[in-house]
A and B are shown apart, each in its own frame.
Chain A
Amino acid sequence: MKTTLITAAALSLALLPAFAQVETTPPPPAAPRQLQIPKPVEKTLANGLRVIVTEKKGVPLVAARLLIKNGGEADPANLPGLADTAASLLTKGTTTKSAEEIARGIEALGATLDTGAGWDESSADVSVMSSKLPQALAFLADVVRHPTFKQEEIDRLRQQNIDALSVAMKQPGRLASFVMTHAIFGNSPYGHNLGGTPQSLAAIKRDDIVAFHREYYRPNNAILILGGDIAPARAFAIAQEQFGTWKGAPELARVLAAAKDFPSPRVIVVDMPAAGQAAVVAGRPGLRRADPAYHLSLVANSILGGGYSSRLNEEIRIKRGLSYGAGSSFDLRSDVGPFTATVQTKNESAGEVAGLVVDELNKLGTTPVEDAELGPRKAVLIGGFGRQLETNAGIVSRIGTLALYGLDLDEINRYISGVQAITAADVQKFAAAHLGGNDASIVIVGDAKKFLPALQQRFKNVEVIPIDELDVNSATLRKAK
């Protein structure tokens, strides 16, 4: 990791006299050691299931993830939450086992089995001691291949999810994120809440769930990723045993139309008088995961809002004490995903914070970043990459993302060089094109009377939606009168 040496030089760390009693400057680093990048190996079963294994010895554990290459983006426009509902119901009964038998069986192994949907994927994850991997994978295969979607289970989950949403909609941060999704994506496939709304969940029928499963859950639309204390040959054999007879319908899953037009940016205040703190979010369309600017987007975000010493946290928390934390991220997806910057602050300072966020977004595109800042922000990414590869779950997650988006698995070997190659000029150009604050929507959920005047001084056309008039089912965000 050369970056560490560059950084050390930038900090002008001086050598110490060996006799010093009180040493006033930090000792310099020694020569860095090389990070070992895991080496995934793969095989595709006759039925089209792609199996990828990364062996890592040390701790007798294995993480396994079965990915279905469709998720919330495939929700029908009137049924947000369908993909997540289908995935969540997988463990609630199969043709041979009840929900309770599945839970008892998997937990008897000391294992966990979690299912859910994301954007672009549905997943089932197992974490288990390596000695019990075959039994755990048998459960994983059973729930993915043979779920029964009993009406009783559908009704129970629906009620639980509606209750959970009733709580989520009272959290300023969660609600702001629901609203921002509509502001960024309008009516395009990513323009809804992944978990649905109380109204959409109520509308989901068993037939919808069965059809979703039939269409997307098939071996030639799936990837199995294993990481940890397991030899590839043994993993392939277990995969063949559990998934070899899995047959899917011949036609491939439909390809979703890409969003072409994004709505104009908005400034939206959801007035929640009882909010204990205000949530401030700035957001705009970002990038596709396969975009050649992948590493560039990571570096730009690392400077702006990735990690403790990023600019947003520096300006808002460290310098001004206005928040417990400010940060930003690109959610890179199959199609263009969102970029969001989020902060929670006391209601009184929400307007000021919104202005600070937009200023920082603009600054990155107008002023070149100094090398003394760029080097450390790259080191943050490279270090985080190394730490992610320390755990089985981290390896499986990273390999799974590459496979899901059809990227060369060898990209994992180019991560460090890809980050290191980015220049200050690259960042400025990228930020000007993709991070301009004036093209961002702003959403604030909080006690509006405490920040609205300050906000309106800075931003024009502020839409104020009283919490009772908010409708998270539509891009207008207002209940019909």
Chain B
Amino acid sequence: MLVRRVTIAVLLIAASAAAASFPPINYRHRTLPNGLEVYSIEDHATPTVAINVWYRVGSKNDPEGRSGFAHLFEHIMFKATAHMKSEMMDRLTEDVGGMNNAYTHPDRTVYYEVVPSNYLQTLLWAEGERMGSLTVDEANFKSERDVVKEEYRFRVLAPSYGRFNNALSKDSYAVHPYKRPGIGSIENLDASTLADVQAFHSTYYRPDNAVLIVAGDLDPKQFDAWVDRYLGAVPKPSTAIPRVTVKEPARTEEKHFDEHGANVPLPAVGLTWLIPPAQNDDTEALQIASTILSEGDSSRLYQALVYKKQLAQRASSNADTREDTGLFTVTAVMASGKKTEDGITALRQEVDALGAKPVGAAELEKAKNLIITGALRERETNDGKAGALGEAITQFHDPTYVYRGLERLQAVSANDVQRVVKKYLIDAKAVVITYTQEAK
């Protein structure tokens, strides 16, 4: 409902362009002397332009005892800079018929605007401003922190399954900071200070830790000149950028967690497994496995749990690949009167079946078609194109993945799907989560 400066992106399927019918994404790339990576896609179909700045910092970089800080910081980026008053970004976008928003992912924070194309120069100036400085004051900081606490209530406390969604990461990782919820907690948010904001900005918000992607109605020469002028002027710090080096160990045993929430009329269950980083060669096969399990009414989880056995009210799966160790999740909200043990058993049965024998040709083709059509739909807009390219650059460390991803997806065989399900799910250890109403 209220999608504005939202937290935690849902992982977009990053499969991309190469099939004959697929319109190409032709991008230009250069690196500025200060380290900023710049990509542009020229497309004059509409008189708008999408501006994205992808910073390579996410919830995994939350300081110790400051869970939720990267996301809180994202909100603060809409406050004052040296030459912009609080909310001036809204004056430059919303007020002229554009929009802006941002999201915080475990690995990255993305700021984006879509504006009438005659405002491109203005917005490049504004992005240079907030990359260069933040001058938020105590009153604005506290007020925005209150907004984020309301967002926490909105996402975690008010919905029936908010705490369950948080538990999936929390219970799945033993040591990696991915275990901390990106939305944070009231306590951790209250502990954050204005000094934390300045430290975070100078540590991570710098040209050599960012990617600028602009798609739409632009003139390449003019664009380059503006980028040099407004973003090329942001200095590159001499300090090193801290990176998360913690490695999540392989699981040695299956673990079970009982989680609870308020207002949970139907219990939920979930199983998770660790999967390799997005750059791994098995990523596309895992995406196809998840699509076969849960995309659409013909998917295996829907057919078995929701339709035939009527055990679950809904069921889903996700191949959540990340820069570091990711998660494969299968979840179900139980139908009324059904036992959570039966839900867990049924979820396991479907995963086991996918590993027991290769999927049929038609089912494999269906999954590929669903992913390709979804990718096409994403690329109807300038912002969607910029987003697809940003995924390729930051998640796959390769802009050509925007084409190559689809080729790789097309090349996945039924044996590949069976092999990755067996390797990462069946032969590995699950975390099993049961979520029920807390005692009143």
Contacts and interface: CB of A to CB of B under 8 A. Distances in A.
Interface of A: 1, 3-4, 7-8, 11, 13, 21-36, 58-61, 91, 99-100, 102-104, 106-112, 127-129, 131, 156, 159-160, 162-164, 166-167, 169-173, 272, 274-277, 279, 307-309, 317-325, 327, 342, 344-346, 375-376, 379-380, 382-384, 386-387, 389-392
Interface residues of B, number: 89
A430 B364 CA distance: 57
Contact of A321 (B45, B150, B298, B303): B150
B98 A383 contact: yes
A317 B151 CA distance: 11
Given A104-B366, A129-B373, 18 more contacts: A13-B122, A26-B125, A27-B125, A107-B296, A107-B369, A111-B373, A131-B21, A159-B310, A163-B336, A276-B162, A320-B146, A322-B146, A324-B4, A324-B147, A325-B4, A344-B154, A379-B97, A386-B48
Contacts of A35: 46-47
Interface in B229-258: 229-230, 233
Nearest to A307: B94
A272 B317 CA distance: 32
Interface stretch (B34-42, B197-205, B262-270, B427-435): B262-270
Nearest to A319: B143
B90 interface: yes
Given A60-B23, A107-B296, A392-B380, A386 B97 contact: yes
Contacts of B97: 1, 3-4, 379-380, 382-384, 386
Interface in B1-57: 1-2, 4, 21-23, 45-48
Contacts of A28: 122
Contact of B159 (A27, A131, A171): A171
Contacts of B303: 100
Contacts of B95: 7, 11, 309, 375-376, 379-380
Contact of B380 (A59, A171, A322): A59
A324 B2 contact: yes
Given A163-B335, A327-B2, A383-B96, A4 B158 contact: no
A375 B96 CA distance: 9
21 contacts: A23-B83, A33-B217, A58-B23, A60-B21, A91-B297, A100-B297, A110-B368, A129-B369, A166-B336, A170-B160, A274-B440, A321-B150, A324-B4, A325-B1, A344-B153, A380-B97, A383-B98, A384-B97, A387-B381, A390-B48, A390-B381
Contact of B266 (A127, A163, A171): A163
The 9 closest A-B pairs by CB, nearest first: A383-B97, A276-B157, A110-B369, A321-B146, A325-B2, A376-B95, A33-B47, A103-B297, A110-B373
Given A3-B97, A108-B365, A22 B121 contact: no
Given A27-B122, A29-B119, A58-B45, A110 B370 contact: yes
Contacts of A128: 373
Contacts of B377: 59, 61, 127, 391
A391 B380 contact: yes
A69 B116 CA distance: 36
